[in-house]
Amino acid sequence: MKLVFLGPPGAGKGTLATLAKENLSLVHISTGDIFRANIRNQTPLGVQVKAILDSGSLVPDDITIAIVKDRLQQPDALGGYLLDGFPRTIVQAQALSGFEQLDAVVNFVLKDSEVVRRLSGRRVCKSCGTGFHLTSLPPKKEGVCDKCGGTLMQRPDDEASAIQERLRVYHAQTAPLVEWYQSRGLLKEIDASPAPETVMKVLKELMGR
Ligand code: AMP
């Protein structure tokens, strides 16, 4: 099965993708994760895109499309995958349709106020990357990772100004994809406001599993 997860930042696409890859046996491909890994490893691509990610804008289409095209040709992706965070523009969707045939596009629906609440409260451990949330998943001790004792930090793109930019970019560039995929008969919508386990159940039903 070849799936795309669409939706605003903070809709839980990453969390759901992690659950879905176990439940639906799919390879999880997240362009955000690919960029962050490159930034962590200080590769030429990472150096090129760091400021873009920090500000909440989009990496240019040609760079992003080339990365995804290459990733989808890896042997593990041939049996099916779940694309999380790609496509994000009509140009990317057009390019993808030129080299892949999707089975479905799942749109995770979440209102802007909930996006802001979720993203602004998010914290991650500097050492092991474990995620927390100030209100919905707080660490036992403020600012300290439950798992490894590391220091918790806010991702630069979860700071207030970057959240506003990510939402602006989402509405301007990514939201038009909902209609684009709807008109091609591929779109399935899902309410992303309940807990991830509940959303996962609905997703499985939607996929006929
Ligand atoms: P994410 O983890 O999916 O929210 O992505 C984090 C950041 O990576 C985004 O805010 C963009 O700067 C960049 N990014 C991820 N996917 C794409 C994409 N498909 N096109 C352009 N930029 C992307």
What local confidence, expressed as pLDDT, does residue 21 receive?
A: 83
Answer yes or no: is 117 within a domain: no
What whole-number distance in Å separates Cα of residue 115 and Cα of residue 107? 15
56 lines ligand 1 (CB under 6 A): yes
131 lines ligand 1 (CB under 6 A): no
Q: Which domain holds residue 183?
A: 2-111+160-206
User: Ligand 1 centroid to 143 CA: how many Å?
Assistant: 26
Nearest to 34 by CA among 46, 25, 19, 17: 46
Tokens of 133: 């949330």
The rounded Cα 93 to chain-centroid distance in angstroms is 16
What local confidence, expressed as pLDDT, does residue 88 receive?
A: 97
Q: The domain that contains 68 carries what CATH number?
A: 3.40.50.300
Please give the number of the atom of ligand 1 that sits closest to the Cα of 68. 19
What local confidence, expressed as pLDDT, does residue 194 receive?
A: 94
pLDDT in tens, 61-118: 999 999 999 999 999 999 899 999 999 999 999 999 999 999 999 999 999 999 999 9
Nearest to 108 by CA among 185, 190, 17: 190
What whole-number distance in Å separates Cα of residue 93 and Cα of residue 174? 10
Count of domains observed in the chain:
1
What is the value of pTM for the model shown?
A: 0.90
58 lines ligand 1 (CB under 6 A): yes
Order of strands, sheet of 122-125, starting from the edge strand that comes earlier in the sequence: 131-133, 122-125, 152-153
Mean per-residue pLDDT, 159-171: 95
